[in-house]
Copies of this chain bind each other. A is one copy, B any other.
Amino acid sequence: MSENADLEIKAGWVLPVHPDPTVSLENHSILIKDEKILDILPTAAAADKYSPATVIDRTSSIVMPGLINAHTHTGMTLMRGRADDLPLLKWLHDVVWPIEGAFASKEEFCEDGAMLAAAEMIRGGITCFSDMYWYPAAAARVTVRTGMRAVIGMVLIEYPSAYAKGVDEYIAKGHDIMQQFQGEDRITFSYAPHAPYTVATETWKKLGELSQKNGVFIHTHLHETREECSASCVLDRSHPACHLSENECHPVEDFRRMGLLSSKLVAAHMVHMTDEEIQLCAEKGVNIAHCPSSNSKLASGFCPVHKFLKAGINVALGTDSACSNNSLSLLEEMKLTALNTKNLAGDATALPAYTAIQMATFNGAKAFGLEDVTGSLEVGKAADIISIDVHTHAGNSPMFDAHSAVVYAAAREDVNDVMVNGKFLLKEGTHCTVDIGDTLKRMSHWRSKIMEEFPQK
């Protein structure tokens, strides 16, 4: 007698990603039951074994794990394109911070920005994101409403803000929100101290202890610019990127001394790293969230990803914010990672397509301790699944190799379906959980407000 299942996806190609990232299974079916992956087997064999309540035909599509955005700031999406082509400090001081001062101090702004980001991310096949922004409850609520999965960052800087008066309040508010969303199985939390140059030694130590005690990951910006390293080495306090430590050293070395280098640390960027630092991070199990578009757009440098991979570091991918990219598309980041790493390494084989996919899926899950839940298609894991069409648009055909098609040719409009826990967030290109009309209406409202208060020169 055949076994019941909620859904069968008949796939042209299945990319399980883990344990072997090179595997591509032709004409296989994925069976889903009770929000989880029940089985993956040849479609020809599925008919005898299962009686699915629903069957969908994706024989012209590649079916793979949902993409995981390991580093973003969803609340900034409403400022997309407000100022580009400026030097980093001018951009921050003259544009981003004044607008943030006026708007990101409003929780509603952060929530509407997070919803706009979610709409874009879902459209592009992202099922899970790791966020770091003011009022983290806003992004958590958006996660609940959209059905996405998220790692919500409990934001923290050394200074007072509209959100919190000081370190203790940042931490207390974070813990409150973590408590508030405890029942949500799709939401986990991270400590999200901003960076070595905005968080003091005592605070880092406190977070390190908390992380050790309660198992919560720490997610921060680290070694993003050359200046962060050089100013910290000589404690040049006149430079805004000099770390707040008393030690004349690179922030990574300072982290080592504070005992922060561990598999519970997710460091975004890590563009400027000595070979010794790479080795050290590999030994300590540090996770890196690589954000290639942002690094290029802000002229931060080309990140030596090939060296990270060779050293065995777990490298995930992030879009960073819509202000420094300006897209929230991991399809773009996968391609850029593969292309630029090949070019930097001077070796066209340095980062094959399947590795880029692994970085955008399994490695993202592993970075935040979710590798038993999501990030690959394996029996028993959550049904966090996307399908990518390879037969409808001229731009993604012919399809000879599924990994290549996803990384080098697929675009947002090729993403057919997006599901989390077996529930459709996008079906045949149409949003199921986001009211796109309302999201764009709110976007327009804030756009007008920003243009009123900060008219462009």
Contact = CB atoms under 8 A, between A and B. Distances in A.
A395 B447 contact: no
Interface string A349-389: 11111000000000000000000000000000000000000
A169 to B, nearest CB: 31
Contact of A81 (B81, B336, B340, B398): B398
A200 interface: no
Contacts of A322: 409
Interface in A117-141: 117, 119-120, 123-124
A299 interface: yes
Given A296-B342, A343-B296, A397 B443 contact: yes
A298 interface: yes
Contact of A413 (B295, B342, B399, B412): B412
Contacts of A436: 394
Contact of A80 (B295, B342, B343, B409): B409
A339 interface: yes
Interface in A378-427: 391-395, 397-401, 404-405, 408-409, 411-413
B296 A401 contact: no
Interface in A305-334: 322, 325-329, 332
A345 B82 contact: no
Chain A: interface size category: 35 or more
Given A348-B91, A400-B81, A339 B297 contact: yes
Nearest to A122: B394
Nearest to A295: B343
Given A85-B348, A85-B352, A400-B456, A395 B299 contact: no
B446 A404 contact: no
A78 to B, nearest CB: 6
Nearest to A296: B339
Given A296-B343, A336-B336, A412-B411, A405 B301 contact: no
A302 interface: yes
Nearest to A398: B447
A84 interface: yes
Contact of A409 (B81, B87, B91, B409): B81
Interface in A60-105: 78-88, 91
B342 A297 contact: yes
Contacts of A87: 347-349
Nearest to A448: B398
A56 interface: no
Given A117-B394, A400-B456, A413-B413, 9 more contacts: A80-B400, A293-B339, A296-B340, A297-B339, A299-B346, A322-B409, A327-B411, A394-B443, A412-B412
Q: 8 tightest CB-CB pairs across the interface, nearest first?
A: A296-B339, A119-B394, A398-B447, A85-B352, A326-B408, A413-B413, A296-B343, A81-B404
13 contacts: A80-B400, A82-B398, A85-B353, A119-B394, A296-B343, A297-B343, A299-B342, A300-B343, A326-B408, A336-B336, A394-B434, A398-B443, A411-B412
